[in-house]
Structure 1
Amino acid sequence: MRKSKAQRLRECLTGLLLLGTIPVAAESETLRARLESLATEHGFVVEGLEHLGYESARDTAGDLSVRLRQLLEEYNYVIMTEKPGAIGRLVITSAKTPTRARSLNAAIKTTRLGSHHQVDTVLVGPNGVALPVTLIVDTGASTLVLPESMMQELGFTPEMLQPGVSQTANDIVPIKAGILESVGVGPASAADVPVAFFPDDRLRGAKLLGMSFLSRFRMTLDETESELILLAR
């Protein structure tokens, strides 16, 4: 079954241990419990709960049909109405097919920043806006790393982010983790990419393209030609 964004976010936080981070997540209501509560409150029948994972329910707003659409964005389902405006039955049929990482076996030119390679990247957050950003290729970072000042620009709201901390050489730094809608580097792209937001003053302008994107591909960094080569797995 396809992993939900909540599950991928929890895995991202666990993976951040490679950066010395420790998640401090709070317990929250599961999607299954939220749907059962809504069914009881609004008097409809819900079927197919066995297709759900154990992900947390996201915050929703609007009328019942809008809230259900927001809650079940990663699932296929059918809503049956008994009369106009009244939902009688909700049937969850399956999880949606995951979006696979796509590549044209690309060789992307990099620019040098000291001993590091930089690439032009296009990030898409929850607001759906394509944001061009130059990132440092960093295979030592378990996830894509950005400054906190970019959270709002990418469309993240507080409820979309999970708090955590990063253990640095000198102290502990608070971070926030989320999921980008997509990341593109040249003709290569991947959907649902974990990202960690660090305080701006700790990054000092650095933005990292880590393994939450790079691991979607077979990757080679050609030092001689200054190329990042991404091949489809």
Structure 2
Amino acid sequence: MGSECENDQMTIMTVRIRLRGFIVGLLLIGAAPAWADPESLRARLESLAAEHGFVVEGLDRLESQLASTSTPKGDLPTQLKGLLEDYNYILISDPAGAVERLVITSAKTPTRARSINATIKTTRLGPHHQVDTVLVGPNGVAFPVTLIIDTGASTIALPESMASELGFSPEALQPGVSHTANDIVPIKVGNLESVRVGPVSASAVPVAFFPDERLRGAKLLGMSFLSRFRMTLDEAENELILLAK
């Protein structure tokens, strides 16, 4: 009888040990870093970089998350846009137009936290609408400037001479190129700390600095800011309407 009890106790202890081992195994599996998963966002970006031969910077800014279960379709920039919809980033192309470098700058903050809906009066410059804007660069100084609203510009475009005024050092800017209808223009790209139009603002906004003579005095408010919102430009009332997405 005593021997049977001892055997039963040993069996129970064995089961408990096995259960503990199983639970510890589950905990270890759950604790594995996301980048170790072949479907993690980091792994997907590294795979694309190896396939297409470009450099990725800022992987340490990625949060631990899996990539979308469906692979984005289209060319490389379109695929990267789909994968990085929750992040601010800069694409730098070589003279032939191929992606040379991807710089992940930061995670996007929720739209509600960074903006409020607003209707902002514009002024006319010929056929164009202008709006008063406040830019903040790396030096943290608020820099008021009037920008032309240009939905055809992929980013905020400023003359190169403004870079130092906004606090950008040469090391803080990356070389890039802009493809125009006639030629290729060398530019320098970076990230503004914030951009404010009326009561509406956004942080970590990509900016491109062009040779002064190419812009001929123009300063453009492009889609790196405008695409953060649902935008309407009322031609009749001269109003820019920005709504949270």
Q: TM-score, normalised by structure 2?
A: 0.59
For 1:145 and 1:231, the matched residues in 2 are separated by 23
Does the CA-based 8 Å contact 1:24-1:163 persist in structure 2? Answer: no
The answer to whether the aligner puts 1:126 opposite 2:138 as a matched pair is: yes
For 2:242 and 2:101, the matched residues in 1 are separated by 37
Cα gap change, 1:8/1:22 in structure 2, threshold over 3 Å: closer, same or farther? Answer: farther
Cα gap change, 1:98/1:157 in structure 2, threshold over 3 Å: closer, same or farther? Answer: same
Q: Deviations over 1:163-196 (max 9, x none)?
A: 1112223322110110000000000000000001
- Structure 1: gaps spanning 5 or more residues: 28-53, 57-73, 75-95
Question: Which shifted more, 134-143 or 101-110?
Answer: 101-110
- Structure 2: gaps spanning 5 or more residues: 1-40, 42-57, 63-86
Q: Which has the higher helix share?
A: 2
Taking the TM superposition and a 5 Å limit, the aligned residue runs for 1:5-20 are 8-11=88-91, 13=92
The answer to whether the aligner puts 1:114 opposite 2:126 as a matched pair is: yes
The answer to whether the aligner puts 1:175 opposite 2:190 as a matched pair is: no
Taking the TM superposition and a 5 Å limit, the aligned residue runs for 1:1-150 are 4=61, 8-11=88-91, 13=92, 22=97, 25=100, 98=109, 100=111, 102-150=114-162
Does the CA-based 8 Å contact 2:115-2:201 persist in structure 1? Answer: yes
RMSD: 3.2
2:242 alignment counterpart: 230
For 1:188 and 1:168, the matched residues in 2 are separated by 30
Cα gap change, 1:123/1:26 in structure 2, threshold over 3 Å: closer, same or farther? Answer: same
Cα gap change, 1:164/1:113 in structure 2, threshold over 3 Å: closer, same or farther? Answer: same
2:233 alignment counterpart: 221
Cα gap change, 1:175/1:21 in structure 2, threshold over 3 Å: closer, same or farther? Answer: farther
1:187 alignment counterpart: 199
* Bigger relative contact order (CA 8 A; separation at least 6): 1
Larger Rg: 2
**Alignment-mate amino acid for residue 159 of structure 1:** E
Cα gap change, 1:97/1:55 in structure 2, threshold over 3 Å: closer, same or farther? Answer: closer
1:211 alignment counterpart: 223
Does the CA-based 8 Å contact 1:142-1:212 persist in structure 2? Answer: yes
Cα gap change, 1:162/1:117 in structure 2, threshold over 3 Å: closer, same or farther? Answer: same
Q: Deviations over 1:107-149 (max 9, x none)?
A: 0000001110000000000000000000000111111110100
Q: Which has the higher strand share?
A: 1
1:37 alignment counterpart: none
For 1:112 and 1:124, the matched residues in 2 are separated by 24
For 1:139 and 1:21, the matched residues in 2 are separated by 25
Does the CA-based 8 Å contact 1:122-1:130 persist in structure 2? Answer: yes
